[in-house]
Each structure stands twice: as C-alpha cells, then as structure tokens.
Structure 1
C-alpha cells in the first residue's frame, strides 16, 4: 500500500545524539518565526512519588535556565515584544511536553537568543531550590482553579472511561500532596532522566534562512547528552476492556444532565493512502451526522438542549464512536432515544446520495480554499503536523500532495463506504455509558439495566429512512434595481476608497493581497436595542438570532444550509445595543451569493415559529440549574450591584424567556433593516474594485432608503458614582475569585487611550511579577482597560485573579501596593519599553491581516475618527512616559471609584 508522502518543503534532520529537527521557510507573517520544542515526556512516565512533576518541570523552565537565570527569560522576551502566556507558552499532557516561542526574525541577536532559549529548555533548566519552592504555590493555585463540578465528577468516572489504565492515575496536574511534598532532588532526577536529545525535537517555521538555521541548530544542540543510565521510554496504551461499562455521577454544582455513550475501538493509523482515504470517509460521516442533529435542534420541541455524535480519536491506542446529549430537565430518556434512534437510522438505512453529494461539495470547497492560500499560510499552521510526525510517526502531507490526494480520493468514496462505518463503529461491545447530572436529580437517574432496556427497545422499533427534503428555488425572485455612486473619496495613504451610494449607504473598500481568496465585510447602522423600551428589550435583543436562524426567502433554515453547501460564504445579521448590521465573508467565486444573502436579510427575512419555539425551549432548559454554578451566581451579583438589576445588564431567567415575543422580534428586525441610508459597509480583502462594484451597486445600492437619520439612545445605565464592596459565599471548593473594577467618566482621545493601554500592559507585568512570581499566590492575574466614546466618554479598568481564601486579603493589599507605586513614582522605564515593543511588534503583524483592517476601519467610522491615525501610531508611542502613565493612573484608579467583588466558598 502506498505510504503517505512527507512534506518535502520541510528540512528534517537528526543529530548523532538523537535530537530531531524540522526547519521550514514560510513568509507569513513576514519577519516572524515560531519555534517549538517537543519532548516525549508527560505525566504517564511519572512514578507514584513523581505525580505532577512533568507539569511542574514545564513551569520551572520559565524560572531560571543556564542563559536566563531566575525570571530573566520572561523579562528578556517581553523587552522583545513577546507576551508571557499569550505568545510565550507551553503545555504538558499525558505523553508529551511542548514549549512554544514566536519571535521576530529580523533581529539577528534576538533570533540567536531564541535558539538559546530552546537549547536551555532542552536540557539546561537550573531548578534552583528557592525557585522550586516558590513555584509550588503557583501550581497549587492552577490545580485549585481547575477544581469544580467537572473535575470532581471526572475523578469518579475517569478510572472506568480509561479502562483502569495507568492514564487514569496520571493526570498531568498531579495532586496537592505531591506538589507540596516532593523533594527537590526528585524533580532534578526526573529532569535528568527524561529531558534528553533522543526524546526531543525542535520545530522552526518562519521567515528565516533554512540553511543558516540548520547550521545553528547543529552548533547549539549537538552537545546535548543522553544520560548513561537513561531509562527506556515505555509506550503506554489503554487496553480495551472487552466489556460494557456504566457509571452515573452527580454533583451539587452541575447545572445540567449530560449523557455520553463511548464505543471504543483500536486506534486507526494514518500511514498509507488507504488510511488517509478512511480518514476522509470518517470526516464525511461526521459532517453528515452533524447536519442531521442540527436539523433535530430546529424542531418546535427539540428532544435535547444539544446532541450529536462522531467517530474520532480517543486516547493512546484507542479511537471511539461517541454519542452525547445534554438533556432537558426530566427528559433524559427522551434525549437518549432521539440520539440513539438517529444513529440507529443511519446504521439501518444509511445516509442518502444527496447528503453525500453535499458533504463532498463542502470538502472540495475546503480543500480548494486551503490550496488557494498555500503561499499565504501562517507559520503556526504548519507546526501541528510536524509535531504529530515526531510524536505519532504520521507523515505530514505537503500542500500540493494534500490537495491532489484529497481531490482524487473524494471521488472514489461511495455511499456504501460511508454507511459501512456505522456498522463497523456502532457496536455492542466495549461500550461505556456515562451520566453526569445535578445532585438533586440523583434518585431519578436511570440505572444500567434501564438504559440497556432503552437501547434494546430502539433496536427493535420501526425507524423510517431519513427524508432529505431539498428545495431548488432561487434566493431572490428578481434582481434589485441597481443604485449608483454619488460621491467618491480616495485615501491612498490607507489604500482605502470611500463611496456614497444613491440610497445614502456609505461603502468603504480596501483591496489587499494578504490572502488570495478572502473577502470580509461588516456593516453598522446607528440604533440597535437602545431604541426600544425595556418591555421590548429581550424581543429586540434576540431578534437577529431568531430571524437569522429561521432561514431566508423561500428557504427554511435546514433548506438554506443545503442550498449553501459547497459555498465559501457566510452572512450573519446582528442587533447590538447601539447598532445593527451584518458580518459576512466569502471567496471570489461566491461573492455574488454573499451580496444576494445580504440583500435577502434586508428584504426577505423569515420567522420560523418551529425554530423559535425550539430555541426558547433549549434556552429555558439550559437555565434551569444555572444558579447551582458558583461562578454564575458571582457574575449575576456583580451585574446586579453595578447596574441595579437592569434587565439589559442581567443574565436572563426562565421567566424572562417568555417575554420574548416572536412577532415583535420579527417586526423589530424588519424595522432595524428597513433603511439602508444610514448604513456603513466596510469591505476588505482579495478583490479589485472592478470585480466588486457591480455587486455593490446592484445589491447594496438596490436596498431601500427612508432617510430616517436615527441615533442610538443613551440609556443611562452606569455603575454608581461611589465604589463599594461585596462578598459572595458560594461553592464547595476552598478557592476564591477576586474582581476589582474602577469606573467613571473619561477624557476620550487618541492620546488618553494610548496611556490607558500602557497602564493596562504595565500593570499586567507588575501583577504577574508580584502576585505570581514573588508571592506564589496566583496562577494567573489580568488587568484590563476599556474605554468608550459613545454614548458618553467612559472608562472601566478591571483586575481579576483566583486564589485560596486565606490569600484574598494579602494579595489584594499587594495589588493596591503595585497600583500606588505607579501612582506615586510612575512605572519603571523598562516596563514602558516592554509595552512599546509589544505594541510595535503586534502592529507589524496586524497591518498584514484583513481582520485587523476590517475592525479598525469599521470602528473608526463608527466612532467618527480618522482611520489614518493607525499610520502614525508607532510614532505616537514615544508619548508614553513614566509621567504620562503616572498621570493617567492618578486620574482614573481612584479609591472612591473602586468596586471590590470577592467570591468565597460556602461556610463549612
């Protein structure tokens, strides 16, 4: 059988010591490179006295290495514009630990030091006693933050689901006891045993000289040594149990009942062309099953909140066919019957030829779209396949081979190939049934015998074949009367053209070459839900969702999905608080269809009462036990305190769902899209004006205009003038959440915005240094600033972190101490330099992205600002000084405007 070809565009090598490398030149983004170090060491290799050490060691790599002692690594990279946690990151799983470093490649010294970081991570962690002990608190807080209903239930069901294998006892986070108690030398010994070149690979993809990079890799990594007594790296798997298993677990903080049926099978390799073809067959199967379940959720009385199933990978050595659903309260049997019946229908009758045809069309569109962008692919997108080659031994197909193989194989896949999968994977052996439910429903849950009886009853029931109802009607009965351009203004410095059409609509065009086949659009018009009174608010807020989910023109939602199969197009209307509009995207081939859809959402929207009723039912079901979740109670309390229980700022209740009037929602939707004259549409991407303008004039210019000149209302919903404190006691776990906010009026300007952004960035740096690195009190902490020009000039500044209850007060004191240092002395120059570097490096990449320009241009027009400001932004960064940041901190981080919210556990 033909073996899958390996990507020839990547240079692969292996040093005499066993160290593997993958190096590829890729031009996007320009002057950037991503480096990944993969080590075949994870928690599965830990002994009983090493639990959690693979993950702990990952943390320690950022706390001191040969070339970057203590915290110098993070400090150095921040100066280069690399963000800790955002860019610089790592993960540990059962079987591997992977480190990632994206850096600029246009600075030779930085590039060389990036390689030194990789070399240090490979074998030169310092593992200093003091640093180890400091990090214990950080990891304990990570463990603590992850505790909750899901984790408590997982502890109960994992042994069964993982077939009592070693994996069930080796969760990467470890245990509280092991993290607190392991010996320093135990960690160093683990590092010596496993961080070695024969288990490691370096992946480098980016705008680099491949030959020079290979030379440097040889110089830096050739002297890595494997220990003389290196233990064998055993490969662990999960054996099949050879039996069916059942477990039901409950928790007082679980908000809904979820059921899974997991039927396990030996893992299928993807090594040959035949294997790849089988993978495509599974993908088509999953896509068609997904479409069927999407249709089920659109019923007026859907059988579950959500449900579905698919064939895919499970864990080491196993694949699985998994069915799942989230049950409506008291309807677990109904949800089970619906999901299992649908897959029984597929097993008995198969899919239809038309379903397969649509799935193939979607696949071909996806393959062609990827191939069209092959020279514009981001470097990051190549990494996963090279990681997979190193970790799993599966070849990474090159762009050309993936395209040719996909196009050639898809035509060979028959309906019988697809339908055989259900018979192969939907079996009666090695099946796990897992139920997770609220504690209060424990006595009403079915037992294993009951579920088996449900299953047997479905198997002998009459099940009709699926009826694939297809409608071929065109979206529009007739073409609209085209409009004209009445004014034009070119902005060559931005590459932007501003047009005003004869119906008053403004259209902003920015052709780009960032992608080969990506056209993105967004539109806004003043008004939104602000124009409606409180009694109509929920109808207005859900209007676009209800109408957008009801289909369009002659097609209901299911028929519209089928109508659009194989098309690279998406149009979504929205109604926000102060505006309404749409977001859209397409490729060149489907550009006209995108404009037809936009026009149809203005002119021929639908209201499908079945979709509406079903959607409302699912919302109600999802809200039934929402307040059993401590985080939901905390969030609701914050909003209630800040906004005085205003309906526009609170989470919806079941009773409020009934306030949504479908006809009123439909009428509001039509009102919002009745007048094109005050819409501004921004279009960015791979088009020429000649290609685009016929559609702009026909479909946008053909929209009706009433020139009503609306403005959004100021609803006057603001936090109190004076700050306050609130503590909420909810939750079983001994953990706390802290949310600190400053609110108030704001002197909105480009200058002020930049200073507040700088304060956010600098405070993030200082709080991580203090709360995480110095005091070991948190896993993560974030400061976030936001500001608004309309309806009033306002700002908010928030600080959020989780910690243990006993650390709430001391850490809060540390937060205020760091704030006061900035207010009294201003920030350190080194931290200002980090902010400037981060902004500069970030913008260099963003200026080559369609999404950035779409957001920037649309936001500028919405705020009545000159979008050309972005061109001088980097020069304006020089205005960020210690004094300017100090001034903005003193101006806005005022004690009287401080709101303190703390979530504490229930009293024991």
Structure 2
C-alpha cells in the first residue's frame, strides 16, 4: 500500500529563495491586445475551462458521485478508482494513522471477500497485488485502484462489487486489525532514517506550523499499536460515506450498462443521520520569513532550499490556464540558464532548480534549490540568486522566449497526435483530481485547441512579470539540510540574508543566448544502399542488410500514431579493455553524450533540439556498445543525423569533461555516512573482492579518468558499424524510413571486422557466505538473500525460473507479511544470462525489526524448502500463468515490448519469432518443472546472506 512519501531528502522538494524589490501587479501586464484576441475568439478571460464531454458524470441521491467513460486503450481492460475525501488531516490526536490503517484493512476482509480472499481472488484473475491492485492515503484523500480485464463479465461484476465493499463494507475484525498493526509498524520502520528524521524537523516550517505537520498519514506508533478496535470502526462509519466518495471507471466497457450497475450497487449506501462536517484545512500564510538548518549524521550532502509561498491559484478559467502557461515558460527559461551554468567546470553546484508551481496542493510557491559542491553552499546560493537578479534586471531574450514556446507547442501537438491512443489511466487520474481537488478535466481536443489558441497570445513581458510577482521578499522559507559534521559551518539567517544583499550590489550583464547557426553535420554523408532484404512475416518485420554490412530490422506498427523507437548494438563493450582502461571505457559513452556533437557544443545542441521530439544516446556496456532513442516522423532526419554524428563526429569538450569529473568527485563526499552505500559496498566486496569492475570507484580513480583516452575509446567502439544491428519499431512505413537508412546508416564507417566480447570470468564465490554490516542509527534490519551460480539457459528453464519467482513471492507475502506481520513488503526476483556463460541470481529482500530478521530468514528458507520438496501449489502456478497471459496481451500492443524482444533476440542470437510462442511455452510450465529448478538452483550451499543492522548491534 502506498502512503505519502517522505519529503525531506528528495532534491525536488518544495524549495525556495527570495527577492530584492517590490513587484508590479501581474494582471496589469495583460495587454489590451491580448484581451482583444481572447474576446474575438469568444474566449472570455473568466470563461470556465470546458469539461470533457465524453465522460458520463452523475450523482446519486445519497451524494455518491460517478465518472464513467468508454476507452479502448488498452483493449479488454478497465481501470476503476474509488476516491474518498478522507485523509489523515481529519484525524484527532487519538486517531493518528487510522485513515491509513483503514486503507490497509480494506484488503483484509470485506463483506463479499472475507479475510484475504480479495487478494487471492484477484490474483487468480491475473491482477498483481501491489502494482495493479493498490491504494494510497494522503493528507486529504484515500484512493483505491483496481485495473482488471473487462472481457470477463463475471470478473467485471465482481470488480464493481469490490469497489462497493471498499466504499462501506470493510469487516474490521479484531484479529485482522491486530495482525495489521505489525505490518504497518514495519512500513513505518522502513521509512525511518535520515530522511524521516530531517522531515520531522522540516515539516513545521513547510506547513507553517499548521496541523498538517502533525498529521503524516503513517500515524504514530502509540496509536497504531494501541488504539481500541471500536475506534477504527467509528472512524470508518463517520467518514466512509457516499457524499465524500466517487467511483471513476474508464476502459473498454459498455458505459451505459456500467452506469446502471453503479446506480444499482451504490444507491443503497448508508447515510449517517448526523453527518460530521468535512472541514477544509487550508495552509495560511504567516506573512513573515522562516529559517531552519537541519543536520544529520547520515545525510551525505548539503541541500539548500528557498520556498517563497503564495496563495493557491486555482486553474479553473481560461485566464487561469493561460497564467499556468506563462509560469511554465518562465520555468523553462530559468532552468535552461541554470543548466548552462551547471555544465561549466567552475560551477559551484551539482544541481539547481528554479520553479513556480503548486506547493503540496495547498499553496503556490516559487521554489529554488541547490545541491552545492562541498564547501560551496554560499557560492551555489549566490549563483541561483544572481540568475534571478539578472532576470529581474534584464529580463529574458526573445530567442529564449520563442524556444520555450516551441517546446510547449511541440508537446501540445504530440498529445493531440495520440488523442485516440490515450491510456485509460490518464483519464482516470484527470477525473479523480476533478472530484478530489476540483481540478479541471478537459478533453484532449479542448486542451489542444485552447493551448494552440493561447500560446501565440503570450508575451515576453508577461513572462517577466510573472517571475517578478512570485520572487517576493515575504513568506520566504529558507531550509538548509546537511551532514552533521558540517554543523558548525552552517550559516545563520543573517549570514544568508547577507548573501542576498551582496548579490543585490553586484553589477551584472545581460544573459547572452548562445545559439549556433551551424548545421549539426559539417556535410551530408555519401549515400549507401540496401543490398539485401529478408522478410520475417510471422512478426510483420523485415531484415535489411546495408552496403556497409549494417543490419536493420524494421517493424512498422499502429500502436501509436507518431512514435518511432530505435535500438542498435554490437558485440564488444568495455570487456575488450584491460582493467587500467576500465574507468575510461565504462564512462566514455556517458561523458561523450553529455558533451556536444558534430558542429555543436553542449549548450548549442540542447537548444538545437528544443521543440523537437528527438532523443538519441550512445552506451557502452560490459559486452556491447549501442545507440538507443526515439523520435517522431518530423524528427526522423534529426535522429539519424545524431546517430551518424555519434559514429563519425563525436566530441568531448574540455569544459564539459572537467565539469563532469568535478561533479562526480564532489558527489562522493560523505557517501560513507550513508548506510545504504556502505551496505552495497560490503556486498560487492564480499562477492568480487577488490575488482575495479565490480566496486564503486574512489575519488582518486575518478580523477584518473583521461579525457583523450576516453574519447579515443569511444571512437574505437563506434569505428566499425558493420557489426551493428539496428531495430526500429513504430509508426513508419518502409518507404518513409528507407531514405534515412541509405543516407545515414549505410554510409557509416565499416571495416567488416568481427569482434567478440571477452569473458572476464569475474564471478562470486562458488559457495554461499554471510556478511553482516553494522551501519546506521535506526533500529531496523535490511536483509538480502541471494542464490547464485551456473545456469542452463533455455526457454523451458527460463519459464520455470520465472514461475518460481512468482509463486515464491506469493508465499513470502503470505508467510512473512500476512501470517507473521514481520514485513511490509517482500518478494523474490530471478535473473539469468546466456553470455558469456549461463549464470543466474535468485534474490529475496525485506526490511524488518532487528529482533525478527533471523526468524524471518528461517521462514523464507522454509518456504523455499517446501517448494523444493513438494513444488508449488497448482493454485499459485495458475496465478502466475494467468498474470503472464494477461500481461502478454497488453505487451503485444506496445512498441517498447517489440523493440526489446526483437533487439534482444538478435543480441542473444535467437529467433525473433519465438516471441509468438510465449503462450505455448507458458502453458507447458508445471509443478514438476518449477520444483526441479528450485531443487537445482536454490541449494543451501549457494545461499548468500547480506544483513544490514544498526551500528550498536554487534
């Protein structure tokens, strides 16, 4: 079950920094010309945003609301959400955590699905618990989600019954409540750490000392472990009522028939005689500034945030929507400038951000954030403030403005192009937010037309005005978080204020927008040709051989209206380089792709690609090098130019190289204070010793990366294209794409040298072992169990291994979570490889309390032994088969799936048509096959145990 995630350490948390002068009234900037345009097009400034006309909306007499829409993407599926305007903010002190607890209980016994029958029933229908079937609790709402097949009338009927039971018919039995206490405690325990400790100190500032800071949905240990059973029943009766609920149903359904069922099922919901008022809890502005420094021993880096809070501006009218577009343009321009600074070697920060937007659904805010390099907090903060001052003083350039508009226009066109391919989940979320938050729910067509109409009316001066409006001096929170060891170095509020004053006195120059007029390529390549064509009719594909030996596999599809995916690989990778060159080779692609390409440097290429739906990137792995990316039809030429340039005109600008090395080294400081890093390091060390290829590099090793050698290796890996196979999947025809293949792929350099990746023979110990790591202050344990060894790679073995992963995950959840209340989440995962030799890794992971980890390990191993002895139950195996069958039905309609299957088949030297035999292979898996792989691979002497415990546990 999901609940509101910790807020503290995530970089993009609400963050902010302040302003220097009084702001003009933004609305005064709205020109007469703009108002005239709007009125001429019959769009009144105050006109409400249009509601999607294709959704059925109704309200029953008892106050229950429903949204129903037919949508066939994906086919034979329906997504149902139950939204309830009940969250942790409604709890009393004695009820803290009950909204979230109640969400859990709705999976532990309903009127028509007692005990754990709900999860069991839905798993038998192919619905995955935790990914498909899920729920979350936030401050102001609780939401349940259920995506199911819609081609089974019985399942569809029962799915609606589940929603009805969730709405008001939880059983809330004493024994089930008591069992769930431990599970929620483990959920609570899992979130503990530096993030939670920092969050606890930060929330009173973020929430202005309001009730929100004391109502995290997870609740308190005292309440969770000690509340009386009747209290949660009273809470349920008080708040789970029809006037606070809505069902949203979108999918491949008969909307009229579903509406009748909803009316039948939900009309009899009880209405309390005395209705408790559902108060709206707002976040009031304090009209003063706040300052907070927080340090923690496990915080690996410093983060500075400045949040300038403003009253929440609803987006309900045409004018509101237009204002949101202006905010978006401002954000794009300012963050583009920060990216340029961040690419320079002398940049003081690792990351930075400026953004105007929503703040916790309660306010609006201008948020500024910096992750400085060590000892560079002052310089980083000043750097971001300086850009806002430069903006205030000189504004933005016309080229920046037009580029941002082009990006918006392109995104708008892309959305409209795919309007008949919109997934049901997208619609569900829109209608859900309409009910819960009052957000607009426009149709794709309406949003497209409105955006297209409004974009040309935006003016540069208005963008400048909105930035100045939000960059205010009052209601400004400054929050600085950092490592405990730097506590004495942290600034005071007066010191930070002096930074603003210092920047305010600086003499600045206007921003210069660096845009190149040069084409990407110095000259067009000499055209090659297609020399052979092989049809693969079974999967609707063709394999083309080009004049330089490059192979191209084409699969045109209609799954999207304008999406083309590209993947290419060749054998070799950094396995061909000695250990002394490993860091140069393994980092070559990442470093080169961050630099410029062809005739354009890093800044110029970013601006060149603005307004284009194109992304191409190179990679060098252990055994292969490759190219991957995506484009639309309009961007095809650019995509192939980029591919050609990476092969023939890569570049590594010195400032980019130095900047990457400095940032990487800076980001490594204090990592030894992070328990998760220490844990991973210990695991790698135990498995692979000091091998440079399997361990995290040191700062000195990163500094040793050689720029010239890095570029040289990159060029070597892409010097001979003859070994590459390109897979291209998506919305194109052969005639449309063939000219680009001949011009840009058939012209790639070729020496027809066949390379093979090297077998490095870096393997873990043949026998299992145990490693206990003591790091961290919280009283919790993290357990990773792994079986590793040689593997017989074939279709039957792979399918049986996948089934073992699934059935064991079911048993681990039933035993460790439901029966023993010892974990919040757990599961098994299997991975296996064919080259250089067959290898497997079978893993189990969970977090728990320090006093329970050993008994839970024993329980996990016991479940493994049961499968080894008896095999899985047929019921659990059937769950695996139906889940994979249903997922396969969806996968076959996805470009990404076909790209992976075809490119993977060529890389593994297998028949690409085998994908069509998946269901036949799936039907063959049986109890004895799963039992056999469990016996073969989950051997006691192959078990590796890795355990993370707090420092004081010895």
Establish whether TM, by shorter chain, passes 0.5.
yes
Counterpart of 1:789 (choices 834, 842, 847) is 834
User: Displacement, 1:178?
Assistant: 1.2
Distance 2:582 2:436 in 1: 53
Structure 1 position 709 matched with structure 2 position 754: yes
Selected match of 2:850 from 789, 805, 809: 805
CA-to-partner distance for each residue in 1:175-214, whole Å, 9 max, x for gaps? 1111111111111111111111100010111111110110
Distance, in Å, in 2 between the alignment partners of 1:248 and 1:570 is 40
Shift of 1:650: 1.1
- Give 1:863's aligned residue: 908
In 2, distance between residues paired with 1:765 and 1:56? 22
Partner of 1:825 in structure 2?
870
Deviation by residue 1:702-749 (Cα, 9 ceiling, x = unmatched): 101011101111111111101101101110000010000011111110
Is the Cα contact below 8 Å between 2:304 and 2:371 reproduced in 1?
A: yes
Specify the alignment match of 2:20 in structure 1: none
For residue 567 of structure 2, give the secondary structure of its aligned residue in structure 1. Answer: strand
Q: 1:471 aligns with which of 511, 516, 524?
A: 516
Tell me the C-alpha RMSD between the 2 structures: 0.8
Confirm whether residue 297 of structure 1 aligns to residue 342 of structure 2: yes
Among 758, 764, 788, the alignment partner of 1:719 is: 764
1:51: which partner in 2? 96
Q: Take 1:462 and 1:228, find their aligned partners in 2: how far apart are those partners?
A: 69
**Deviation at 1:278?**
0.3
Aligned equivalent of 1:374: 419
| Structure 2 residue 156 is matched with structure 1 residue 140 | no
Name 2:596's counterpart in structure 1.
Answer: 551
Structure 1 unmatched ranges of 5 or more:
none
Please point out which of 266, 269, 285 is paired with 1:240: 285
CA contact (8 A) 2:810 2:827 kept: no
Question: 1:477 Cα shift?
Answer: 2.2
Counterpart of 1:659 in structure 2 is: 704
1:777–1:803 CA contact under 8 A, matched in 2: yes
Tell me, in whole angstroms, the C-alpha distance in 1 between the residues paired with 2:563 and 2:808: 37
Q: Which of 691, 695, 702 is 2:740 aligned to?
A: 695
Return the TM-score normalized by structure 1. Answer: 0.99
Alignment of 1:317-466 (within 5 A): 317-466=362-511
8 A contact 2:73–2:251 mirrored in 1: yes
Per the TM alignment, residue 659 of structure 1 is displaced from its structure 2 partner at its CA by: 2.1
- Aligned-partner SS, 2:277: coil
Partner residue of 1:266 out of 311, 323, 331:
311
Q: Matched residue of 2:633: which SS?
A: coil
Q: Which one of the candidate residues 76, 84, 106 is aligned to 2:121?
A: 76
Deviations 1:865-895 (A, max 9, x none): 1121111111221221111110110000001
Specify every segment of 5 or more residues in structure 2 that has no aligned partner in the other structure, as ranges. Answer: 1-45
Instruction: Give the match's secondary structure for 1:542.
Output: helix
Q: Distance in 2 between matches of 1:336 and 1:849?
A: 44
Give SS of 1:81's match: coil
**Any idea what the Cα deviations from partners look like across 1:617-638, whole Å, max 9, x if unmatched?**
1111110011101011001100
Secondary structure at the counterpart of residue 120 of structure 1: helix
Partners of 2:283 and 2:697 lie apart in 1 by 43
Output the CA distance in 1 between the equivalents of 2:848 and 2:669: 29
Partner of 2:536: 491
Aligned twin of 1:223: 268
3-state SS of the aligned residue for 2:517? coil
1:510 matches 2:547? no
> Hey, what's the Cα distance between the residues in 2 that align with 1:661 and 1:204?
57
Alpha-carbon distance between aligned partners in 1 of 2:271 and 2:778, rounded to the nearest angstrom:
43
Distance 1:749 1:741 in 2: 21
Residue 634 (structure 2) pairs with residue 589 (structure 1): yes
CA contact (8 A) 1:238 1:316 kept: no
Q: Provide, for residues 747-803 of structure 1, a one-character-per-residue CA deviation record: whole Å limited to 9, x for no partner.
A: 110110000000000000000010001100000002100000001111110001000
Q: Is 1:25 aligned to residue 70 of structure 2?
A: yes
Give the superposition deviation at 1:294. 1.1
TM-fit CA distance, 1:316: 4.5
* Matching residue of 1:893: 938
Q: Deviations over 1:285-325 (max 9, x none)?
A: 11111211111111012110111110011134311101000
**Secondary structure at 1:602 match in 2:** helix
Give 3-state SS (helix, strand or coil) of 1:545's partner. helix
Matches of 1:634 and 1:668 in 2, distance apart? 32
Aligned-partner Cα distance in 1 for 2:635–2:187: 46
- 2:888 maps to 843
- Out of 929, 933, 943, the residue aligned to residue 884 of structure 1 is 929
**Is 2:232 the counterpart of 1:178?**
no
Q: What residue is the counterpart of 1:86 in the other structure?
A: 131
Shift of residue 394, structure 1, vs aligned partner: 2.3
1:571 match? 616
| Equivalent-residue separation in structure 2 for 1:574 and 1:343 (angstroms) | 36
CA contact 1:7–1:395 (8 Å) conserved in 2: no
Aligned counterpart, 2:30: none
Correspondent of 2:244 among 174, 199, 203: 199
CA distance in 1, matches of 2:265, 2:206: 44
- Between the aligned partners of 1:237 and 1:344, the Cα distance in structure 2 is 32
Partner secondary structure for residue 295 of structure 2: strand
Say if 2:677 is the partner of 1:669: no
Q: Could you list the structure 1 runs, at least 4 aligned residues long, displaced by more than 2 angstroms after superposition.
A: none
Deviation track 1:371-397 (CA, whole Å, cap 9, x = no partner) reads 000001111111221111101212211
Q: Give yes or no for the alignment of 1:96 onto 2:149.
A: no
Asked whether the equivalents of residues 739 and 801 of structure 1 are also in contact (C-alpha less than 8 Å), the reply is: yes
Asked if the contact 1:573/1:582 (under 8 Å) is kept, the reply is yes
Contact 2:665 2:703 in 1 (8 A): no
2:805 is aligned with 1:760? yes
Distance 2:697 2:164 in 1: 52
Any idea what SS the aligned residue of 1:805 has? coil
**How many angstroms apart in 2 are the aligned matches of 1:242 and 1:85?**
43
SS at match of 2:99: helix
The alpha-carbon deviation at position 550 of structure 1 amounts to 0.9
